[in-house]
Amino acid sequence: MSFVKQFRCTVCNQAIEYKEDTMTCPFCGEKGILDIEYDYEAMKKFVDKNFFKHSDDFSMWRYYPMLPIDKKHASQMLKIGWTPLYHAKRLEKSLGISALYIKDEGVNPSASLKDRASGIAVLKALELGYHTVSCSSTGNAASSLACHAAHMGLKSVIFVPKRAPIGKLNQLLIYGANVISVDGDYKDTFQLSKLAIEHYGWYNRNAAINPNLVEGKKTVALEIAEQLNFNPTDWVCVSVGDGCTIAGVYKGFYDLYQLGLINKIPRLLGIQSTGCSPFVDAYITSKPLKEADENTIADSISVGIPRNPIKAQRAVLESNGAFLAVTDDHILKSMKKLGSKEGIFGEPAGVTALAGLEEALKNGVIKPNESVTIIMTGHGLKDPINAQKAVKAPVLLKPKLEDLKQYMKEKGDKKHA
C-alpha cells in the first residue's frame, strides 16, 4: 500500500508522475529536486492515533503508510529509528528554559540519523533489483549506507573526501564497502560519485538528488511528535549541512499537520558553524545562497555548496524558524556539556544543535518560556580526534594511595581528601 500521489518539482512547481527510479525533474535537470506528495485524504483513513496505538513496530517502519516504500524487506533490516527522546531536566534547568528534550540519534545501528535515509535507499535498491548502492559523503551517509547494504547483502561503493574522520572511515571498511577516498574536497567527491553512478548504473543514495531519502529522514520528526503525544515542542533545533535533514524534519511535521495529528508545526532552528555557513549568510543578507568555505571541525556539516538549498530554506521560512551560526569553540564546549550533564556523547555536528540553542537563547530568537527539542544527530565516538580537543587529558599518577590522596586534596574534593 502506498499513498504516494506524485512528485512536485521544487524549482518549476510542475507535478510529475511518481516513478520509482526518477531522481530529478525532467524539465529542470539536476537542480530540479523533487518533493513527494501524498494523498492525505486517503492516508487519513488509515493513519490515525489509533493506528499508532496498536502498532508493535518500534522502528522507523512503523510509519510505512507515510513512506514511499514497499515494506516487504523491512522486517529483515537492522533496527533503525524509534530512538529515545529524553527529557533533559538537568540541562533544561541550567539553560533556564521551560522544557528541553533531546532526540538521541546516536543509538541508531551506524550511530547517526543518516540510517533513516540509508534504510530507505537499501529498501528501494532491493525493490528495484539493484546489486550495488553508491553515494558520496563526508562520512555518516556513507557509513550508514555501507552498514545497511552489508546487512541486506548488497554491495556498496562509497566516495569520501580525504578529510573524513577516522571513526567513520573505519566503519566503512569494517562494513566491507568499496571505499574510494578522493583527493579533493566534498564538491570534488560529489562530482566523481555522480559520474560513476551514471557510468556504472548503481543505485544512487545521494540524499539531495534522491527524493525518497528525505522521506526517511522525516521519520525523526514523526517520532518526536508521537513521543510527545502529538504535542511537539515550540522549537526543534538541528544542524544543517546539505539541508536534507532539516528538510526531512519539516516534511515529517508537515505530513502530520496535513493529517490533522498535530495542530502546529514547530519552528525550526537551522544551525551551522561560523566556519562554513552558506545558509546563515544567505539568511542574514537575504541574498541567494553563495558558495562558502569549508572550515569547521564539524565535518558532517562542512558543506560549502549545499545540495538541498530550496527545501532547507523553505523548512525554515514556512515554519517561521531561523538560521544561525555558532563557533567551533562553542561546539566543542557543547560536546563536553552534553556529555557531562546528560551522559550523551555527540560528534561535533551532533552537539551543534545544543550550541545553537544557547546562541538562540542569548540573542532572543528562542525565549526561555518556550519548549525545545534538540536533535543530537550523530555519536561522538565517530570522531575521537575532535572529542580529545573538547577535554583535558587525565591526570597521571604513580600507583600509590598517598599520591592519589595528594591529588584529590589539591583538586579540593573534600569528600575524598
Ligand X SMILES: *Cc1c(COP(=O)(O)O)cnc(C)c1O
Residue 404's binding partner out of Zn ion, ligand X, none, with CB under 5 to 8 Å set by partner kind: none
The piece of 78-86, 233-241, 253-261, 406-414 that touches ligand X (CB under 6 A) is 233-241
Q: Which of 10, 140, 156, 334 binds ligand X (CB under 6 A)?
A: 140
Q: For residue 134, give the H/E element and its range.
A: strand 132-136
Report 85-124 residues binding ligand X (CB under 6 A).
112, 114
Residue 350's binding partner out of ligand X, Zn ion, none, with CB under 5 to 8 Å set by partner kind: ligand X
Please measure the distance between the N-terminal and C-terminal CA atoms of the chain and give it in whole angstroms.
Answer: 67
Binding site for Zn ion (CB under 5 A): 9, 11-12, 25, 27-28, 32
Residue 317's binding partner out of ligand X, Zn ion, none, with CB under 5 to 8 Å set by partner kind: none
Give the start-end residues of each E strand in 249-359.
267-273, 322-326
Residue 28's binding partner out of ligand X, Zn ion, none, with CB under 5 to 8 Å set by partner kind: Zn ion
Residue 32's binding partner out of Zn ion, ligand X, none, with CB under 5 to 8 Å set by partner kind: Zn ion
The answer to the question of residue 300 lying near ligand X (CB under 6 A) is yes
Q: Report in angstroms how near the CB of residue 199 gets to ligand X at its nearest.
A: 25
Q: Report in angstroms how near the CB of residue 12 gets to Zn ion at its nearest.
A: 3
The piece of 21-29, 68-76, 241-249, 408-416 that touches ligand X (CB under 6 A) is 241-249
The piece of 87-95, 151-159, 225-233, 238-246 that touches ligand X (CB under 6 A) is 238-246
C-alpha cell at 240: 544543517
CB atoms within 10 A of CB 135: 31
Q: For residue 4, give the H/E element and its range.
A: strand 4-9
CB atoms within 10 A of CB 162: 12
Q: Which of 165, 350, 356, 380 binds ligand X (CB under 6 A)?
A: 350
Residue 27's binding partner out of ligand X, Zn ion, none, with CB under 5 to 8 Å set by partner kind: Zn ion
Q: Of 141, 144, 190, 182, whose CA–CA distance to 163 is shortest?
A: 182
CB atoms within 10 A of CB 409: 12
Reduced to 3 states (helix: H, G, I; strand: E, B; else coil), residue 375 is: strand
Q: Report in angstroms how near the CB of residue 7 gets to Zn ion at its nearest.
A: 9
The piece of 53-61, 169-177, 343-351, 399-407 that touches ligand X (CB under 6 A) is 343-351
Compare residues 47 and 240 and give the one whose CB is closer to ligand X: 240
Report 362-381 residues binding ligand X (CB under 6 A).
377-378
Compare residues 179 and 404 and give the one whose CB is closer to ligand X: 179
The answer to the question of residue 239 lying near ligand X (CB under 6 A) is yes
DSSP 8-state symbol, 63: G
The answer to the question of residue 294 lying near ligand X (CB under 6 A) is no
Check: CB of residue 238 under 8 Å from CB of residue 353: yes
Long-range contacts from 20-24, C-beta under 8 angstroms, 24+ separation: 20/124, 20/127, 20/128, 21/128, 22/211, 23/204, 23/209, 23/210, 23/211, 24/209
Compare residues 32 and 252 and give the one whose CB is closer to Zn ion: 32
Compare residues 43 and 156 and give the one whose CB is closer to ligand X: 156
C-alpha cell at 302: 562542512
Which phi and psi angles does 178 have, rounded to 5°?
A: -85, 105
The answer to the question of residue 342 lying near ligand X (CB under 6 A) is no
The answer to the question of residue 244 lying near ligand X (CB under 6 A) is yes
Q: Report in angstroms how near the CB of residue 412 gets to ligand X at its nearest.
A: 37
Compare residues 313 and 371 and give the one whose CB is closer to ligand X: 313
Burial 7-24 (b: 16+ CB within 10 A, else e): bbbbeeeeebebeeeebb
Total number of residues that touch ligand X (CB under 6 A): 18
Q: Report in angstroms how near the CB of residue 214 gets to ligand X at its nearest.
A: 9
Q: CA neighbours within 13 Å on the CB side: how many for 282?
A: 22
Query: Rounded distance, CA 17 to CA 33, Å?
Result: 14
* Beta-carbon contacts of residue 102 (< 8 Å; ≥ 6 apart): 85, 86, 88, 91, 338, 342, 344, 373, 374, 376
Give the interface with ligand X as residue ranges (CB under 6 A): 112, 114, 140, 207, 239-245, 300-301, 347, 349-350, 377-378
